[in-house]
Every structure is written in C-alpha cells, then in structure tokens.
Amino acid sequence: MPKNSQPTIAEDSPYLIDEIGPDAKIETAIEVLGDPSVQSPLLKKNYPCFVSDQDRVLVRISHESLKKIFKEGSEPLSFELAGPRQKIYFDPTKVRSAIVTCGGLCPGINDVIRAIVLALHYGYGAQSVLGIRYGLRGFIPEYGLPLMDLTLQAVNRIHEYGGTILASSRGHQPIDAIVDALVRMNVSILFIIGGDGTFRAGVKIADEIKKRDLKIAVVAIPKTIDNDIYLVSKTFGFDTAVEMASQSIRCAHVEAIGAPNGVGLVKVMGRYSGSIASAATNALREVNFCLIPENDFDLEGENGLLKALEHRLRDRGHAVVVVSEGAGQRYITGDQVIRDPSGNIKPGDIGVFLRDTFREYFNEIGMTAFVRYIDPSYIIRSVPANVDDRLYCANLGQNAVHAAMAGKTAMMVSLWNDRYVHVPLASAIKQSKHINLNSHFWLSVLESTGQSSLKNE
C-alpha cells in the first residue's frame, strides 16, 4: 500500500454503490499536463490540509477484498485523494478558466459554479473565469452566443436559485470546433458540469487537446439527478430530488386515503436507474409498490401488478405506487426506440400508461377505484439545492479547482467511500450505475413496501 495512504472501510452504502468485482478493469491513474513547479498561494495562507498524489483511497472496501489483498500482498486498487497540492502547474496570475453546464437541469448546478469561482478567486487569486452559455453549443461560433464574465458579483446570489445561470443544452457539437474556441479564448482550464454523455464529450475534448499538444486541463464535476454515474457514490442534487419526491409521495398518500379504494400514483425521474424512486420509498415508507427500470414486472396474471394492487385495495382500501420514468418500457415503446438530441433513449410516459391501465382494469372488474396521478419531475429538477447538497456542491467545486490548478486533466472529482477523489473520465464512462437487486438497499425497499416480485415466473 502506498505510503501515507488513507483507506476507508465502510458498510453497504445507502447511495447505491455497486460492488466492484475483483476482476473489474478500472484505470485509476490521473493524467497531468506536466510537472507542477509553481508554489501554491495557499502556502502563504498557512493552509493546513495539503495532500499529495501518494495519498490514496481504496476502491474496494469489503472485508473479503481486504483479506485477499493482505494475504496475497498485492497492491490494492485505489483512487488518488483530492485536495490542494503544495506545488501547482498553472500560474494563478495568468490562468483563465471556463465553466460549461450540459444536459438536463439538476438542483445545485449554480452552487457548483459559485464554488469554483470563489475557490479560484479567494484561494488562488485567479480572477478570469468565463461562463459558456447553453452547453457545448456555446463554443460554436454559428450559434452567436455571448460569453458570461463570472465575476464575484455575477455569482453572488446564484445559489439561491434553481437551474443554471449559464443555461444548458443537449446534443453533439464538433470536438475540433470546441478546442478551437478554447484556444481562441486563451482558456487554460475547462470545468465541465454534466452527466455521462457530457463526460464522453469531455474525453474526446481532452484527447483532441492532447493530440494538439496543448496545455489545457479538462476537469469534470458529475451531475445527474438520476444518480447513475459510475464510480460516484452519489451525484449532487440527488438528496434534494429525494426530498422533493418524498413530498409528492406524501401528497399521493393523503389523496389515496381520502377516497374509497384510492390509488396515489407518482412518477419520478430515472430513465435507467430507480435511485430516486427507491430512496424516496425508503425515506417515507408510505409506498406499497416501487417500480424501477432494474426490476421488471408483469402487469397481468395472478402475480402481476394489477392483481397485487387489487388485493391491496381489498385488504387496506388504499395504495401508493411510485414508478421511475424508465420502468415498464416494454408496455409502451415495444421495439421502437426514440432518442433525444444527445442520443439518450427517450422513455415513453409510464405514468400516464399506468394511470389509464389502472382505471381500465378496475372498471372491467366492476370495482370502484379512484386513481390520483402526480408527476413532479420538472419541479424536482428545477428547485434550489437543499443544505446537504449545497455543502456537497461546495466541496466538489473546490476540489475541482485544486485538481485543475495542479494540472490534472481528463478526470472527474468524485465522492468515494466518504473521501473526495480523482477518477479518470475514461473509467467513469465505462458503464452506468444501477441498483443492485441483491443489495441491502433494495431489500430495505422490499421490506418497506411488502411488494412481491410482481412476476408470474
């Protein structure tokens, strides 16, 4: 184990980290633009928390993994610990940074932008920060989008508002044109706030920069309300999303018990991952059926959802159903695949489908039921971050600045095993993160809802 390493041992995470198998091929080495030779201005401020590249955080933390490591004497897989370095690569008085936000909205984006600007200004004395408008299209001259000068005054109160002060967009843009724009603007550091699609573009941008032998750092901050980015314990905005989803579920429960055979149906975001639905179900424990993309279900048949819902109503007189937007897609889209401008599969509206299906089923069997449907999706993603997410966003932004000033590139800042770490972007985009149906987390959902497998097999 490297000298001064700081491994962390944790129990099963409430934030859905899948066990990384012993044969997983994960690259953990971080690219650097060159040897850091500039003394950090933080030294003059007697900053007490410097770290080095030899400080590491274990990737695998299970007891069995540790036993195997120590028995074989092998080098454990570990991430580079995030934090300020005593020697940095960029001269703070000459560096110019740019920030771009891409993809869908998420609580906390403005908090990350503000944290980056404040850390650059107060920590390093780097005052030139550009905001790129409307995602990656802001780099492309044909769109004619103006830049935003991210001064201290410009970011003074943006954390009080939802969305992003820079606005966002989806869709591919030519990588060579993006790098051309970075060169024209004399940008040394590019901060990218986005999800896996944005990160794939980030890898290509970093590759093009390397191909041209330019000294431009690309540092990413993981953003997706679905919490499905690989090698991140949770993404910012997720706690806020769960809190807001819980409020909608509580309202659905009130509606359900307010009518004979009332059904409260809530659809939440989650195209490929049921993180929000599952966490909100666990948080509130008033849900009777939690439907997620990872766990397929049958509608009809003796063990299907409709029969289970009927039994619940006959037994208790009300029910609450929470569904992720990506669940049950085989009932809506079939073999048809629709994609958004970024190439992501666009799910059909499972909420409306279930609402209509429930009503039709109970009409057919001659049973009176009142279905109340709530879709808070755009409300959830557009609100300001809560206190926990604000603290998280501040740490992500600050650590992104420390990494960038040290010349780190083609990487993202991640929270892993309760430590902030550096993860290569190439590793982060290898796959998406999903709920492990064999985990304690999903077992907790089943124990809370009491639902069966909802399958006829």
DSSP 342-353: TS-B----HHHH
Report the catalytic residues: 226
4: left (phi over 0), alpha (psi -120 to 50) or beta: left
CB 404 within 8 A of CB 120: no
pLDDT band of 71, cuts 50, 70, 90: low
pLDDT in tens, 262-288: 999 999 999 989 999 999 999 999 999
pLDDT in tens, 3-26: 444 333 333 443 334 446 555 678
- Residues 223-249: what's their mean pLDDT? 94
Q: CA 71 to CA 52: how far, in whole Å?
A: 27
Q: How far is CA 38 from CA 93, 109, 126, 393, in A?
A: 11, 30, 14, 27
Q: Which CATH class is domain 238-383+439-449?
A: alpha beta
9-23, 96-110, 124-138, 152-166: segment of lowest average pLDDT? 9-23
State CA 384 to chain mean position distance: 16
pLDDT in tens, 190-219: 999 999 899 999 999 999 999 999 999 999
- At 20 the pLDDT is 61
- At 48 the pLDDT is 81
Q: Which amino acid makes up residue 119?
A: A
CB 257 within 8 A of CB 421: no
Q: What are phi and psi of 227, to 5 degrees?
A: 60, 45
- Residues 291-317: what's their mean pLDDT? 96
Residue with the larger pLDDT of the pair 67 and 431 = 431
Cβ neighbours, 10 Å, residue 186: 13
Give the DSSP letter of residue 34. Answer: S
CB 260 within 8 A of CB 371: no
Q: Is 417 exposed, middle or buried (0-12, 13-18, 19+ CB in 10 A)?
A: buried
pLDDT band of 289, cuts 50, 70, 90: very high
The CATH number of the structural domain formed by 31-234+385-428 is 3.40.50.450
As a whole-number percent, the residues of the chain with pLDDT over 90 amount to 80
State CA 6 to chain mean position distance: 25
The pair of three-digit structure tokens given for residue 54, joined into one six-digit string: 């030899």
61-70: long-range contacts (C-beta < 8 A, 24 or more apart)?
Answer: 61/7, 61/8, 61/9, 61/10, 61/417, 62/19, 63/9, 65/22, 66/9, 68/22
- Residues 74-92: what's their mean pLDDT? 92
- At 73 the pLDDT is 62
Q: How far is CA 366 from CA 315, 369, 450, in A?
A: 17, 9, 26
Q: CA 277 to CA 188: how far, in whole Å?
A: 40
pLDDT in tens, 313-355: 999 999 999 999 999 999 997 666 666 665 666 778 999 999 9
Task: Reply yes or no on whether the pLDDT at 248 is more than 80.
Answer: yes
Q: What is the mean pLDDT of the chain?
A: 90
Q: CA 132 to CA 98: how far, in whole Å?
A: 7
Q: How many C-alpha atoms does 27 have within 13 Å on its Cβ side?
A: 13
Of 125, 128, 124, 130, the closest CA to residue 145 belongs to 130
The pair of three-digit structure tokens given for residue 52, joined into one six-digit string: 């080095």
Q: Which amino acid makes up residue 330?
A: R
- At 2 the pLDDT is 41
Of 233, 211, 229, the closest CA to residue 220 belongs to 229
As a whole-number percent, the residues of the chain with pLDDT over 70 amount to 89
Give the predicted TM-score (pTM) of the model: 0.90
Of 102, 139, 172, the closest CA to residue 342 belongs to 172
- Residues 40-63: what's their mean pLDDT? 86
Where does CATH 3.40.50.450 sit in the chain? 31-234+385-428
- Is residue 404 classed as helix, strand or coil in its secondary structure? helix
- Residues 110-121: what's their mean pLDDT? 98
- At 367 the pLDDT is 95
Where does CATH 3.40.50.460 sit in the chain? 238-383+439-449
Q: How far is CA 240 from CA 364, 372, 457, in A?
A: 40, 24, 37
- At 68 the pLDDT is 64
